[in-house]
C-alpha cells in the first residue's frame, strides 16, 4: 500500500494545510459569500429604481432633474400614484402572506433566531421600489440593507448554521448592504456592531468586516459603480475654528430630537385616519407631490441635492426653504408607512443645516472661517450621530466618503457634541429605538436566546476503529477538519488531531498503515445537550480546545456531534449584550 509520504497533488497539500482552521475558514467563506450576494442585490435594486423612474417620469434623468422638467400637475400626481401602488402591494402582501418570520433585519437579530421571511421581504422591497422611484422622500439604503440581510439569513439556513452564527450572517448581510450603498465598508461593519449587535468583539466584528469589504469591492471595483456623493476637498482656516464646529454639534443635537418626534407624530396621525394602506400611502405621496410643485428638490433620496449643497450651489433662503420642505416630505412619506430608510434623508438634513450655519458664519466673518461646504460635511456626520446615537459610525462614514484626514478633528468634535446633546432628549432614544426595543414590548424578548449548547451541536468528523491513517486521510471530508473522532459502534474510542498526525507522518515518526485507535488520544471532557453555556465555556477553557464532543450524558459515550468554541462565544456574547 502506498505510503502517505508519496508525492501529493497541490489540491491535497492545500486541503491538508487548512486542517485545523475549520471555524475560521467557514466564517470567512460564508461572510464573503454574503458580501457578494448583498452587493449584487443592491445593484439589482438600484437598477430597478432607475427603470421605474423612467416609467413614471418618461425621462432617464435623476428624480430631481426629472421633477423639474415635468408640468406641475404631473409632478403632483407621480408621487400620489406611486404611493397608491406601493400601498396596494403592502395591502395584498398582508392578505396573501401570513408568516411568523420577521421582515426587519433588526427584529430577526434581536427577537428571533435570525430567520427572515423571503416572500415578505421581496414584497416590501417591491413596495419600496415603487415609493422611491415615484419621488417618495425616503432612502433606498433601507431596502438594500434588508435584501442583503435576507440573503444572509437564507445562506445561513442553507449552511445549517447554528443560531448565533445565523444571526451573525444576517448582520453580515446588513453590513454588506450599507457598504454597497455608501462606499463605506468600515462604517458598514461598525454600524452593525455598534447599533444592532451592540458589541465589537472579534468573534462578530471580523466576519462583518469581511462581508463589508467583499460587498464594497464587488460593487465599486468589479462592477464600476462610483461613490454616492461627489465630495470636494475642504480647507479649514485655523484651529480656533474648532469652537464653531463644537457649537454646530450642539445645534444639531438640539434639532435632531424634534425631527424624530415629528416622524413619530406623523406616523400616529396617519394611523389615526384609519384608511386602507393603499390610500394611506397614496395620501403621503400626494403631500410630497403638492410640496414638489414649488420645491422639486424633495423628490427621492436627495443624493443629487446633497451634491449641489456640498458644491455651494444652493445657499441662503432657498436652502432654508429646501430644508423645511424636505423635513415635511420625509415626515409625510415615513409617516404614511412608506418602506425605506431614513439614513439618507438624515444626511440631507444635516448637510443643509451645516451649510446654513456655515453660510451665516462666512457672511459675518469672511476669510476667517471655512467655506459652507466644510460645515455641510460636518453637519452630515453630526446630525447622523444625533439621530442614531452612533457617533463612531458617523465619524467613520463621513471620513470614508471624503477620504480627507483634515476633516477628522472637527468631525469627531461635532459628532460627539451632537450625540451627547441629543441624549438629553426623548429619554436618549435613537431613530432605531422602536426596532431595537420591539423585543421588550412583545414580551418575547428572551425566548430565542440560548441557555444551553443544544442548538449549537453540529455534525463531527468520524472514522471507524481499525482504519489506517492512510485510509483516514483519504476519507476525510472535503472541508477543513479540526478534530476526528474514532468510533466503535457509535461509541467514542478517542480523538485525533489531523495536523499533528500529518506532521509526524511527514517527519517519518509513524507509518501510514498505523491504525487510528493506536494513536488516538483519550477524550477527557465532553458536553451534553442540556449543559448551560457557562459550564460549557469552563470545559473549553480547561481543555484549551477549539471543539468539544457532545454525548447524551456523563455515563453515555455515544457521539451526538460537536460544538465549536466560536459558536459558543457568539451565543454567550448574545446573552451578555441583550440581557436586561
Asked, for residue 232, whether it belongs to a domain, the answer is: no
* Sign, CA torsion 555/561/565/568: negative
Cβ atoms of 164 and 181 closer than 8 Å: no
Nearest in space to 296 (alpha carbons), one of 551, 488, 67, 495: 67
Task: From first to last of the 580 residues of the chain, give the pLDDT tens digit.
Answer: 334 444 444 444 434 433 344 455 677 888 999 999 999 999 999 889 888 988 888 877 778 888 888 899 999 999 999 999 999 998 887 765 655 555 677 776 766 677 888 888 889 899 999 999 999 999 888 889 899 999 999 998 888 887 778 888 888 999 999 888 888 888 888 888 877 776 666 677 888 999 999 999 998 777 767 777 778 877 776 778 889 999 999 999 999 999 999 999 999 999 999 999 999 999 999 999 999 999 999 998 888 899 999 988 988 899 999 999 999 999 999 999 998 888 889 999 999 999 999 999 888 887 777 788 889 999 999 999 999 888 988 998 888 888 778 888 999 999 999 999 999 887 777 777 665 565 444 444 444 556 788 878 888 888 888 888 888 888 776 666 778 899 988 888 888 888 788 778 777 777 778 888 888 888 888 898 888 888 888 888 888 888 889 988 766 788 888 888 878 887 777 666 655 4
C-alpha cell of residue 446:
428572551
Asked, for residue 234, whether it belongs to a domain, the answer is: no
Residue 199 CB neighbours (<10 A): 17
Q: How many domains does the chain have?
A: 3
What pTM, to 2 d.p., does this model score? 0.77
Whether 197 and 86 map to the same domain: the answer is: yes
Which pLDDT belongs to residue 381? 94
Whether 137 and 48 map to the same domain: the answer is: yes
Phi, psi of 494 (to 5 degrees): 180, -175
C-alpha cell of residue 128:
419600496
Whether 428 and 477 map to the same domain: the answer is: no
Direct distance between the N- and C-terminal alpha carbons of the chain, in angstroms, rounded to an integer: 62
Contacts of residue 450, defined as CB under 8 A and 6 or more positions apart, other chains included, come to 163, 164, 456, 533, 571, 574, 575
Asked, for residue 8, whether it belongs to a domain, the answer is: no
Nearest in space to 406 (alpha carbons), one of 291, 238, 522: 238
Whether 298 and 156 map to the same domain: the answer is: no
Whether 413 and 504 map to the same domain: the answer is: no
Which pLDDT belongs to residue 536? 86
User: H or E stretch including 548?
Assistant: strand 547-550
Q: CATH code at 394?
A: 1.10.3080.10
Cβ atoms of 440 and 456 closer than 8 Å: no
Phi, psi of 36 (to 5 degrees): -65, -50
Asked, for residue 358, whether it belongs to a domain, the answer is: yes
Asked, for residue 7, whether it belongs to a domain, the answer is: no
| Domain final position from 197, 222, 247 | 222
Which pLDDT belongs to residue 449? 58
Q: What is the extent of the structural domain holding 554?
A: 450-578
Residue 324 CB neighbours (<10 A): 14
Which pLDDT belongs to residue 481? 72
| Cell 466576519, located at residue | 207
Cβ atoms of 382 and 256 closer than 8 Å: no
Whether 246 and 366 map to the same domain: the answer is: yes
Q: How far apart are CA 208 and CA 31, in angstroms?
A: 7
Nearest in space to 401 (alpha carbons), one of 175, 232, 546, 262: 232
Q: How far apart are CA 449 and CA 110, in angstroms?
A: 9
User: H or E stretch including 562?
Assistant: strand 561-564
Q: How far apart are CA 505 and CA 500, in angstroms?
A: 9
Whether 311 and 385 map to the same domain: the answer is: yes
Nearest in space to 101 (alpha carbons), one of 33, 191, 42, 166: 166
Whether 350 and 215 map to the same domain: the answer is: no
C-alpha cell of residue 475:
476519507
Nearest in space to 152 (alpha carbons), one of 134, 129, 168, 131: 168
Cβ atoms of 380 and 349 closer than 8 Å: no
Asked, for residue 460, whether it belongs to a domain, the answer is: yes
Cβ atoms of 139 and 340 closer than 8 Å: yes
Whether 79 and 168 map to the same domain: the answer is: yes
Q: How far apart are CA 13 and CA 530, in angstroms?
A: 39
Which pLDDT belongs to residue 16? 40
C-alpha cell of residue 26:
467557514
Whether 97 and 157 map to the same domain: the answer is: yes
Q: How far apart are CA 155 and CA 151, in angstroms?
A: 6
Nearest in space to 127 (alpha carbons), one of 278, 316, 329: 278
Asked, for residue 344, whether it belongs to a domain, the answer is: yes
| Domain final position from 395, 411, 442 | 442
Whether 211 and 306 map to the same domain: the answer is: no
| Measured CA distances, 495 to 42, 116, 467, 474 (Å) | 45, 38, 13, 17
Which pLDDT belongs to residue 236? 74
Q: At what angle do helices 242-272 and 372-388 cross, to 10 degrees?
A: 50
Q: CATH code at 545?
A: 3.10.580.10
Q: How far apart are CA 527 and CA 343, in angstroms?
A: 45
Starting from the edge strand earliest in sequence, which strands make up the sheet with 461-464, in order?
Answer: 461-464, 484-488, 491-496
| Measured CA distances, 243 to 146, 240, 387, 410, 496 (Å) | 39, 6, 22, 9, 64
Whether 418 and 495 map to the same domain: the answer is: no
Asked, for residue 9, whether it belongs to a domain, the answer is: no
Contacts of residue 32, defined as CB under 8 A and 6 or more positions apart, other chains included, come to 210, 211, 214
Which pLDDT belongs to residue 372? 86
Q: How far apart are CA 185 and CA 174, in angstroms?
A: 11
Contacts of residue 200, defined as CB under 8 A and 6 or more positions apart, other chains included, come to 190, 193, 194
Amino acid at each position: 500500500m502506498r505510503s502517505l509520504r508519496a508525492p501529493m497533488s497541490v489540491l491535497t497539500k492545500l486541503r491538508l494545510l487548512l486542517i485545523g482552521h475549520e471555524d475560521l475558514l467557514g466564517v470567512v467563506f460564508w461572510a464573503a459569500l454574503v458580501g457578494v450576494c448583498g452587493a449584487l442585490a443592491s445593484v439589482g435594486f438600484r437598477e430597478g429604481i432607475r427603470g421605474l423612474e423612467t416609467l413614471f417620469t418618461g425621462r432617464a434623468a435623476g428624480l430631481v432633474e426629472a421633477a423639474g422638467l415635468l408640468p406641475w400637475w404631473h409632478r403632483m400626481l407621480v408621487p400620489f400614484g406611486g404611493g397608491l401602488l406601493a400601498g396596494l402591494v403592502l395591502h395584498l402582501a398582508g392578505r396573501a402572506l401570513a408568516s411568523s418570520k420577521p421582515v426587519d433585519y433588526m427584529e430577526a437579530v434581536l427577537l428571533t433566531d435570525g430567520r427572515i421571511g423571503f416572500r415578505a421581504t421581496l414584497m416590501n422591497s417591491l413596495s419600496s421600489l415603487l415609493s422611491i422611484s415615484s419621488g417618495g422622500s425616503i432612502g433606498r439604503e433601507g431596502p438594500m440593507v434588508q435584501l442583503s440581510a435576507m440573503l444572509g439569513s437564507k445562506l445561513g439556513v442553507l449552511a445549517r448554521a447554528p443560531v448565533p452564527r445565523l444571526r451573525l450572517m444576517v448582520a453580515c448581510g446588513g453590513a454588506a448592504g450599507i457598504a454597497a450603498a455608501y462606499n463605506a465598508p468600515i462604517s458598514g461593519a461598525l454600524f452593525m456592531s455598534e447599533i444592532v449587535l451592540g458589541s465589537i468583539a472579534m468573534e462578530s466584528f471580523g466576519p462583518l468586516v469581511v462581508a463589508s469589504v467583499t460587498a464594497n469591492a464587488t460593487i465599486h471595483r468589479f462592477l464600476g459603480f462610483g461613490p454616492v456623493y461627489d465630495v470636494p476637498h475642504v480647507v479649514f482656516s485655523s484651529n480656533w475654528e474648532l469652537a464653531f464646529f463644537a457649537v454646530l454639534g450642539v445645534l444639531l443635537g438640539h434639532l435632531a430630537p424634534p425631527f424624530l418626534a415629528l416622524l413619530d407624530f406623523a406616523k400616529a396621525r396617519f394611523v389615526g385616519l384609519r384608511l386602507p394602506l393603499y390610500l394611506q400611502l397614496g395620501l403621503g405621496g400626494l403631500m410630497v407631490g403638492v410640496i414638489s410643485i414649488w420645491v422639486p428638490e424633495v423628490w427621492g433620496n436627495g443624493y443629487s441635492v446633497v451634491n449641489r449643497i456640498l458644491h455651494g450651489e444652493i445657499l441662503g433662503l432657498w436652502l432654508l426653504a429646501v430644508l423645511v420642505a424636505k423635513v415635511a416630505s420625509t415626515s409625510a412619506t415615513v409617516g404614511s408607512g412608506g418602506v425605506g430608510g431614513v439614513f439618507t434623508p438624515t444626511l440631507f438634513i444635516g448637510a443643509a443645516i451645516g451649510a446654513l450655519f456655515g453660510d451665516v458664519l462666512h457672511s459675518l466673518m469672511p476669510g476667517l472661517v471655512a467655506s459652507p461646504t466644510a460645515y455641510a460635511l460636518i453637519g452630515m456626520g453630526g446630525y447622523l450621530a444625533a439621530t442614531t446615537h452612533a457617533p463612531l459610525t458617523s465619524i467613520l462614514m463621513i471620513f470614508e466618503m471624503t477620504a480627507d484626514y483634515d476633516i477628522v478633528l472637527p468631525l469627531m468634535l461635532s459628532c460627539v457634541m451632537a450625540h451627547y446633546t441629543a441624549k438629553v432628549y426623548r429619554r436618549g432614544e435613537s431613530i432605531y429605538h422602536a426596532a431595537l426595543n420591539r423585543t421588550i414590548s412583545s414580551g418575547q424578548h428572551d425566548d430565542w436566546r440560548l441557555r444551553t449548547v443544544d442548538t449549537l451541536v453540529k455534525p463531527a468528523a468520524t472514522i471507524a476503529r481499525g482504519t489506517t491513517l492512510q485510509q483516514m486521510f483519504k476519507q476525510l471530508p472535503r472541508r477543513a477538519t479540526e478534530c476526528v473522532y474514532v468510533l466503535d459502534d457509535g461509541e467514542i474510542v478517542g480523538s485525533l488531531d489531523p495536523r499533528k498526525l500529518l506532521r509526524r507522518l511527514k517527519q517519518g515518526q509513524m507509518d501510514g498503515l498505523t491504525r487510528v485507535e493506536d494513536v488516538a488520544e483519550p477524550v477527557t471532557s465532553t458536553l451534553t445537550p442540556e449543559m448551560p453555556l457557562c459550564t460549557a465555556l469552563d470545559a473549553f477553557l480547561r481543555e484549551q480546545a477549539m471543539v468539544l464532543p457532545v454525548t447524551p450524558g456523563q455515563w453515555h459515550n455515544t457521539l451526538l456531534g460537536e460544538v465549536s468554541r466560536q459558536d459558543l462565544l457568539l451565543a454567550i456574547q448574545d446573552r451578555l449584550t441583550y440581557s436586561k
